Amino acid sequence: MIGLRKMLALVVIGVFFMSGGCSKKHKQPAVQEPQMSLSCIGVLPVVSGVDEASGVSFGDAKGLQDGVQQLDNMLHKQFMGRDDVRFITPAQMNGLKNAGTENALARARQAASFLSCNGILETKLLRYKKRVGGAYTAKEPASVSFIYRLLEVNSGTVLCRGRFDEAQQSVMENLYNFKNARKRGFTWVTAEELLREGLESRLDECSYLRSAK
């Protein structure tokens, strides 16, 4: 009887380790950035877009312009002091040959050639809604969404890409936000603060764009 119990215990243990080994095989591998050398990174002016899924109409796209200016300023501050990052102005972009082309890679290559860089950072602001109310009594929370990608223009390889999309929620609405709520002092942040937080967190995920600490 004791021998049978031992045998059953060994079988259970064996099944446990086999199932554990199988589960490891099904884990998604970590996404690795393509390791390519960049002479420098050219930063294009932020453009505005419309996130159709959020219900923002094209008629409201004009309201994004304030957010576009904010995001442009934040990018300048983010890369301040980096000799390998260069900016191109909207006027310079408009002056490029065939600047009106709808081919994003072609535009990126033109800008890269102008800046003598082989890396180009593109950023699009999709949503920028300001907080309605105060820090503790907001009627409507700030809401921000943007996407970015970093290209190596010679090959067209996307080195990094990311998206930030958040409409701030109270802790009671989403308990998973407790960490962020504590970081924000349990207050309703402004759209500018939410945008800055999102930009820093997303760029920090890309080794090419990560700020020196």
- Alpha carbons within 13 A on the beta-carbon side of 134: 2
All structural domains of the chain with their residue ranges: 36-203
Best CA proximity match to 47, nearest among 84, 99, 82: 99
- Look up residue 106 and give its two tokens: 């072609």
What interhelical angle do 64-78 and 191-203 show, nearest 10?
40
Contact 98, 114 (CB under 8 A): no
Which CATH superfamily groups domain 36-203?
Answer: ABC-type transport auxiliary lipoprotein component (3.40.50.10610)
3-state secondary structure the chain: CHHHHHHHHHHHHHHHHHHHHHHHHCCCCCCCCCCCCCCCEEECCCEECCCHHHCCCHHHHHHHHHHHHHHHHHHHHHCCCCCCEEECCHHHHHHCCCCCCCCHHHHHHHHHHHHCCCEEEEEEEEEEECCECCCCCCCECCEEEEEEEEEECCCCEEEEEEEEEEECCCCCCCHHHHHHHHHCCCCCCCHHHHHHHHHHHHHCCCCCCCCCC
Q: How far apart are the first and last CA of the chain?
A: 65
Where the chain has pLDDT below 50, the residues are 1-31, 171-176
Q: Write down the pLDDT at residue 175.
A: 44
Contact 18, 96 (CB under 8 A): no
> How many CB atoms are closer than 10 A to CB 53?
10
Contact 98, 106 (CB under 8 A): yes
CA distance 128 to 143: 6
Q: Write down the pLDDT at residue 65.
A: 86
Contact 188, 142 (CB under 8 A): yes
